[in-house]
Amino acid sequence: MVSNPTIATFAAVFIALYIAHSVGDHWVQSSCQAATKGLPGWTGRAACARHILSLTATKAVVLAPVALLLDLPLTMAGLLLGLGLDAASHYWADRRTTLARLAQTCGKAEFYSLGTPSHPAHPATAEGTYAPTLGTGAYALDQSFHHLFLGVAALLIATV
């Protein structure tokens, strides 16, 4: 049976990672990284790698005071495993074609294109031209994929 301190550690770690993910993905990530991380070749790979480095650093910076101030019983192995898996999964999804293929495989291709001109019911202005939106299916699937791995990372960090 898992002890209550482990449950509390998992909860504290997940909350810290969730906050750091939002900050790192939206405030720390540069516009250049966001625009080029999905491009083919080394340009896209390098931009995505820079994003993952800054995102993982953000998560470590946010998690450190939480762990210290709450005296969380974390191990270096758990931190490396959890943050490493999270970084790898985030890189994989942010290369874009990989997540698009996963959406296609899972029957979510139409939802993936929601909010874009390629969706059959794309948003349109009164004149019938494309009306950009803040939210897309691709973004929703991207973020939920990341949240899944934040949970896995928190579980590893709390239990290894």
Q: Please answer whether residues 17 and 83 qualify as being in contact, where contact means their C-beta atoms are separated by less than 8 angstroms.
A: no
Q: Terminal CA-to-CA distance of the chain, rounded, Å?
A: 15
Per-domain boundaries in the chain: 4-159
Bridge partner list, 130: 124
Q: Which pLDDT tens digit goes with each residue over 136-148?
A: 778 888 999 999 9
Residues 82-123: tens digit of each pLDDT: 999 999 999 999 998 999 999 999 999 887 877 766 666 666
pLDDT of residue 135: 73
3-state SS class at 90? helix
**How far, rounded to the nearest angstrom, does the alpha carbon of residue 12 sit from its chain's CA centroid?**
18
Q: Which of 4, 6, 10 is nearest to 150 (CA)?
A: 10
pTM for this model (two decimals): 0.86
